[in-house]
Amino acid sequence: MPIGTALTAFRAEIATHQGYITNAFVQDAAGNYLMGAQQQSFVVDSAFLRMFIAWETFLEEVFVRYLLGNPSVAGTLAVLFANPGTEERAREMLVGTQKYVDWANPEIVRKLSRIYFNNGEPIGPAISAIQSDLFDLKTVRNAAAHLTTTTGRLLDALATRRLGHNCINISVSGFVLAPDPTPGAAGSILDSYIVLLDATAHNIANWV
């Protein structure tokens, strides 16, 4: 898969699940939602998880492609510290002695970047620029995947910080669909995260 194809696939997956969220809030002629609140929450949680998986998949694919010597969309080649030769070997190198790569952890992604690419480029610097946001996204992912006392408390803390008011027992959908109060932001918290991930994916794939 060329690096440009990985970017296209990522964007298509994001758009698909944005559409599912939009459909969950369709109203009838009287202004009543066709889905109940519980169904809407389920759709939002599920769509968010799939978006997060799309981001992880994109990271893995571009990592493998750059390792195999594929150029960026702009035609730039990464300076490699390894030559896996095959896609299978590249994926084995990334996993190493672990059971899997935690692509949700930006510190791990940055470390792998430094191991295999000169100056970690092009992936490491792009991840560093949004590391705090990626940790926040992981907090939301964890709450959507398995809500416990711990994940709920972390989500409340994140929501309180991002929304600027005390949040207790907030749901994933309640947080990500809330208007983003950040100056200059237009849309929901989820919209802002999507814009951030898309810009980062674009920079990684179009590295010059």
**Secondary structure, 3-state, 131-176:** HHHHHHHHHHHHHHHCCCHHHHHHHHHHHHHHHCCCCCCCCHHHHH
At position 175, the amino acid (one-letter code) is F
> Tens digits of per-residue pLDDT, 101-137?
999 999 999 999 999 999 999 999 999 999 999 999 9
> Tens digits of per-residue pLDDT, 48-67?
999 999 999 999 999 999 99
pTM for this prediction = 0.96
> Tens digits of per-residue pLDDT, 134-155?
999 999 999 999 988 999 999 9
Secondary structure class of 80 (helix, strand, coil) = strand
> Tens digits of per-residue pLDDT, 174-186?
999 999 999 999 9
Secondary structure class of 33 (helix, strand, coil) = strand
